[in-house]
Amino acid sequence: MLAQRINALLPQTQCTKCGYQGCEPYAQAIASEGAAINRCPPGGEAGIAALAQLLQLPVIALDTDCGAHQLLQVAVIDEQFCIGCTLCIQACPVDAIIGASKLMHTVLPEQCTGCDLCVAPCPVDCISMVPVIPQRSWTSQDAARARAYFEARQRRLAKGPESLRQSPEFGDSAAVIAHHSTTHDTPEVGSPDHSDKQQAIARALARARARRAVRQTS
């Protein structure tokens, strides 16, 4: 299908800046409704050029009403102000935020797409978007990884009411990993992807605990 070919060229950030509820709805709108191909800020000029080539349309400038193209960014939570409301967890389209109700949350930078959908819902304005270092553009490999995380989240939600990414004891990384493994679609245990995900969660929690410990002793 044409919509699938178009979707394969989109960055899969699911940021909704195009005016549609994700990359696939935007792709369908381009294919069936003639929506403009220049409404994806994360894709930038390269994305517009790829869509233009596929659809045999002229290359046009990015519609800045949808936002400006930026290099890859990730969300960062200032945990000293986080109140544990879980609104950012619910907003994240790729399950890149972990935490528990009324306890500190943290972001898995390896999983974050930079969509910034978590920023607006935060009632204490403790989430900011920061550039990835070294700075670089979004790649097709990033898009493939983001699509996999997004589709895993959609499968999880389709099974029933949303189960937030929570752990009874946020300070216990093993508990978070065990909880995540039993409540989310994850790669098969023992596979390289599963091991990488466990390590990413453990690293994120270790960083959060270290920052909290420094604040408590200073």
Could you report the per-residue pLDDT of 109-119, keeping only the tens digit for each?
Answer: 999 999 999 99
The two three-digit tokens of residue 211, written as one number: 């920052």
Q: Tally the residues of the chain.
A: 218
Question: 18 and 33 in one domain?
Answer: yes
φ/ψ of 42, rounded to 5, equals -60, -35
148 and 198 share one domain: yes
pTM: 0.74
| Total domains present in the chain | 2
Average predicted confidence (pLDDT) for the chain: 83
Looking at residue 180, which CATH number applies to its domain? Answer: 3.30.70.20
Across the range 127-146, mean pLDDT stands at 94
- Is the pLDDT confidence value at 106 over 80? yes
Checking if the pLDDT of 39 tops 60, the result is yes
Q: Which residues pair with 107 in a beta bridge?
A: 97
To the nearest whole percent, how much of the chain has pLDDT over 70?
73
d(CA 165, CA 175): 12
Calpha distance 193→214 (Å, rounded): 32
**Residue 149 vs residue 201, higher pLDDT:** 149
Rounded mean pLDDT, 10-20 = 97
Q: Name the amino acid, one letter, at 86.
A: T
Q: Which residues pair with 75 in a beta bridge?
A: 129
